[in-house]
Amino acid sequence: MDFNEEHYLARIRQKLQENGVKLWLAPYYADQATNKEKLEELAMHLSDMLAIPCNTVLNMLSTLQLHALEKLASRACFQETGLATLRIKIVGGSGLQKNITMYLNESGESLKNKIISEMNFPASTRLKMICSGLVLDDSTSLLAQRVANNSQILSIILSCDPDCQKMEEKIIREVEMIKADADLLASQQDENYLRIADQSGNIIDLPFEEKKSLAVAMALHEKGRSALKRNQVSLALTVFHEADAKFNACRSELLKAVDNAALLNLDIAWCYLLLGNAADIPDAVVRLNQCEQSLYKTYGAQMERLLTLKGTTGNEAVLFLRLHLLQGAVAFHQGKTLESIKLLNQANEELQKLAINDGDLTHLISLGYSLSDARLGLRACRGDLNAACIYLQRREMERQERKKKEEEEEERNRERKKLGKTANNQWVNLGYLNTIVEMGFDRSRAAEGLRQTNNDISRTLEFLQSESELYRSQASNGRYSEESLAQVVSMGFSVERAKEMLEKHNGDVELAVEDLASNLGRPDDQAVASSSSEEASRKQKEATKREKEAYKRLAKDIPRSEEDHLDSGLELEAEYLHKYLSFLNS
């Protein structure tokens, strides 16, 4: 069905619904047969009303009647036998549509094999199946995945080109690795791993499972965007749906604090349009409505909240352009002509406002800015070149300042990890620690005092003063402190030998260690201690290495600029706008 026919069919369907016409009932269908005379009368009436050729209307009425009868028959079959009818639409290949019957307790893999067999695809064909916005899992039953009788299944044929196939397989492996990496990092007790902030930059405190789901969702979203930029639309859509499943595991209140889920819905609907499925996937309507509500709630009805936070709304206008374009396209395919024209004209006005002077763009690039930064700067400043230069300079300074603060925070985090936590599970207060050290106390003992007193600086000073008196008393009697013993043992020596040497040297840690390190100590004790220490060190290094590698993989597709998703040349948007408006205005 071509573009014009799709629109005609949608308008006819809408008019039938408005008038309550049921083509599967009398007078249009009776005694197991179509009443051709009545159907022709209806076709002529609709032809005059909608200005569509009568023959076209009649053919489409026959098609709609046939679909309605097939749906009734499949419902009866399902009630009698349990066999469900699934409407399959192929994307990325022939564009074929076919009904397949099977039991809903069968697996996703069984459905996939049946599609390949009944549609005569090669056995090597690779499919991804989507139903109601969810990617179907091969190993799970259709019923458990909310597939119902008469459900429509979008089947995406993944590329068979060897190079594309390798790239897709690589991304699919990376998707699984992202899930494992986020699981590893989100499970860390250190809250500084995978910190997630709202639009104001405030850190959101999350339970473990939600933190993990949100981290995976955002990483997968960026992975999908990366595929979309390479024009791998089918693959991007698959990854986006994986991200969507993770977002759905989070509380709705949480998702209201960030715009990620709204932008993901917009990206999914955009993929539907690029794949030619805006008319066939009702999911697009739901997603665009959710996106619109979320954007207005997050940014403000007039984007006043966004203006307060960022000082400009120019780049976010790209999101509303795409939103209105998609809403207009969906309305077009639903036969809502007036609504479609209104939305598409609105999108066209937004497109004109976002136009950039090529000379200004070239000038900024000649100053050393990237194409993306130059475009974002000009749009943020509504095309004002001088203002864009100031904006980009300020943004670079803010970026450097933010980077510096992040590095300083990372250094503080490393220091906190070394110092450990207090008895009530709080990090040792670095400010208090530095104050105590400035008074002349040993740093490690000051940290120990803060740990034991839950960061109470007065009690820590009492602890250090009493400990100092005890140590002097022990040293004068040839004894040692528990701290001295712990210090020596931490170096890999056995407790017995550490006690022996500390007593020998009146609690002097340095002399005790020198003595133990020399060949005066027992070689077997030293070997065991050294081996144990080396093994613990090796395991710690391996764990740290795994964490760093996981973090690098998660950060791989995260763009340098937080506004990267707002940068677009808008060529595709302009192309689709021209296509729809040309038809509507013809």
pLDDT tens column, 167-219: 666 766 766 776 677 666 655 545 555 555 555 555 556 666 677 777 778 88
Give CA separation, 457 vs 435, 471, 573, in Å. 9, 21, 62
CA distance 267 to 323: 10
Strand partners, 325: none
- Reported confidence tier of residue 532, pLDDT bands at 50, 70, 90: low
Per-residue pLDDT at 415: 83
- Reported confidence tier of residue 92, pLDDT bands at 50, 70, 90: low
pLDDT surpasses 60 at 530:
no
CB 39 within 8 A of CB 58: yes
Neighbours of 15 (CB within 10 A): 16
pLDDT surpasses 70 at 436:
yes
pLDDT surpasses 70 at 54:
yes
Per-residue pLDDT at 521: 44
- Reported confidence tier of residue 522, pLDDT bands at 50, 70, 90: very low
CA distance 363 to 360: 5
> Domain map of the chain by residue range?
1-69, 82-157, 360-416
What is the DSSP code (8-state) at residue 21?
-
Q: Which of 82-96, 157-171, 178-192, 298-312 is predicted with the least confidence, judged by mean pLDDT?
A: 178-192
- The sign of the dihedral angle between the CA atoms of 279, 280, 282, 288 is negative
Per-residue pLDDT at 249: 74
Q: Which of 27-36, 229-238, 311-320, 481-490 is predicted with the least confidence, judged by mean pLDDT?
A: 481-490
- Reported confidence tier of residue 390, pLDDT bands at 50, 70, 90: very high
Neighbours of 403 (CB within 10 A): 10
Q: Is omega for the bond preceding 207 within 30 degrees of 0, making it cis? A: no
Per-residue pLDDT at 465: 79
Per-residue pLDDT at 523: 44
Mean pLDDT for all residues in the chain: 80
Per-residue pLDDT at 198: 53
Per-residue pLDDT at 359: 93
CA distance 133 to 141: 17
Q: Is 448 helix (H, G, I), strand (E, B) or coil?
A: helix
pLDDT surpasses 60 at 545:
yes
Per-residue pLDDT at 101: 93
231-235 long-range contacts, CB within 8 A, separation 24+: 232/164, 232/167, 232/168, 232/171, 233/271, 233/274, 233/275, 234/91, 234/92, 234/128, 234/156, 234/157, 234/158, 234/159, 234/275, 235/158, 235/168, 235/171
Q: Which of 19-23, 173-177, 330-334, 374-378 is predicted with the least confidence, judged by mean pLDDT?
A: 173-177
pLDDT: which is higher, 117 or 207: 117
CATH class of 82-157: alpha beta
Greatest mean pLDDT range, 122-131, 382-391, 436-445, 562-571? 382-391
**Mean pLDDT score, 428-447:** 85
| Cβ neighbours for 372, distance < 8 A, ≥ 6 positions apart | 561, 564, 567
Element (H, E) at 270: helix 260-274
- Reported confidence tier of residue 482, pLDDT bands at 50, 70, 90: low
Per-residue pLDDT at 72: 92
pLDDT: which is higher, 447 or 557: 447
- Tokens of residue 34, six digits: 């179509």
- Reported confidence tier of residue 475, pLDDT bands at 50, 70, 90: very low
Q: What tens digit of pLDDT does each residue of 225-266 get? A: 888 888 888 778 888 888 888 888 776 566 666 678 889 999
Give CA separation, 490 vs 270, 523, 543, in Å. 59, 17, 20
Per-residue pLDDT at 573: 93
